[in-house]
Chains A and B, each alone.
Chain A
Amino acid sequence: ILDDPDLKDIDPTVLKHCHAAAATCILEAGKHKADISAISTCLEDCKLDKERIEQFCTEYQKNKDALEILLGSIGRSPLHITDVSWRLEYQIKNNQLHKTYQPSYLVTLNVENSDSGSHPDVSFSCTMEQLQDLVGKLKDAAKSLDRATQM
């Protein structure tokens, strides 16, 4: 905003204060999911005239959803799984033991950290039975999600 030609006549300090104040007002409104009447009341107390309040509220309404999504994504959480890749292999021999003939799966979970954005993926190997156990447990979790949404 300091480079905006329309605003160059205004004292930069005042501009910064206005910008900060407006941003804080918007964030607080978003945080508390305030409705239009609450915002209007608040702005009236700040001695803004009707026209400006209306403008503010209209702009706010337009961007409310995006704001909520942004605020909701801030915060810490455990490593978040974004994707999974798998590999099926059939082991024939290794240097300690020949003729092993064992199928096995290598599963990699791609994870994301809310802070740094990248993290080494979690990889592990498992037999077919273990993978079935894992899938069974994930399906239990999905079923309980289903039941919870129907309550």
Chain B
Amino acid sequence: MLLVLSAEHRAHLGCLPRAGGAAVGELGRLALEQLRRGAAPRACEAAARKLNIDVDTIQHGVEGLAYLLTESSKLMISEIDFQDSIHVLGFSDELNKSLLQLYLDNRKEIRSILGELAPRLPSYHSLEWRLDVQLASRSLRQQIKPAVTMKLHLNQNEDQTAQVLQTDPATLLHLIQQLEQALGEMKTNHCRRIVRNMK
């Protein structure tokens, strides 16, 4: 699958050949830092001074590189497709090779960063449990009522919530049976076939 680069994007990347080989490494590093931590205008200014190019061009170049890397990583395009996609920019072979290397080296990390942006439901973190027996209450003395009290820890967008829940022994066994069935489903032929064929 080929990446289609807009005219604006191509213009932004146009500063790369002027910057020279070493500079491409520097701009690549800035682009990755931007993806990891967000824009850093002071770093761009420093690079602009060092390379003797004006700040805006450097800024655009870094953003253009960042976008190129994220789109390529998102679609997980192959080496050949990446090379064909940037071929349209008309860069030198050496520059193309540097860009390809930059892509391949950082693809995995970029994908994991992008993975964190996806919509997410609260996810399981851990479970604590406790066995209780109710011996008496205001309405009834001399009881023996076993119960399992649990604290379910969930992660929601970096907040941890804990919910206290309770269940009786019969429901507990039912829960275990149902969830074991759920686990078993991944091992069925149907699921295995789908996982195999969708790669």
Contact = CB atoms under 8 A, between A and B. Distances in A.
A57 B121 CA distance: 57
Given A81-B166, A96-B114, A124-B154, A31 B185 contact: no
B115 interface: yes
Interface residues of B, number: 59
Contact of A125 (B123, B138, B141): B123
B179 A134 contact: yes
A66 B145 CA distance: 16
A98 B74 CA distance: 6
B183 interface: yes
A36 B70 CA distance: 80
A68 B136 CA distance: 12
A33 interface: yes
B198 interface: yes
A95 B40 CA distance: 26
A122 B183 contact: no
Contacts of A92: 198
Is chain A's binding surface mostly helix, strand, loop or mixed? mixed
Contacts of B115: 96-97, 100
A137 B148 CA distance: 12
A74 interface: yes
Contact of A122 (B133, B165, B173, B198): B165
B195 A103 contact: yes
B166 A130 contact: no
Interface of A: 30-33, 68, 71-72, 74-75, 77-86, 88, 90, 92, 94, 96-101, 103, 105-107, 109, 111, 122-126, 128, 130-135, 137-142, 144-145, 148-149
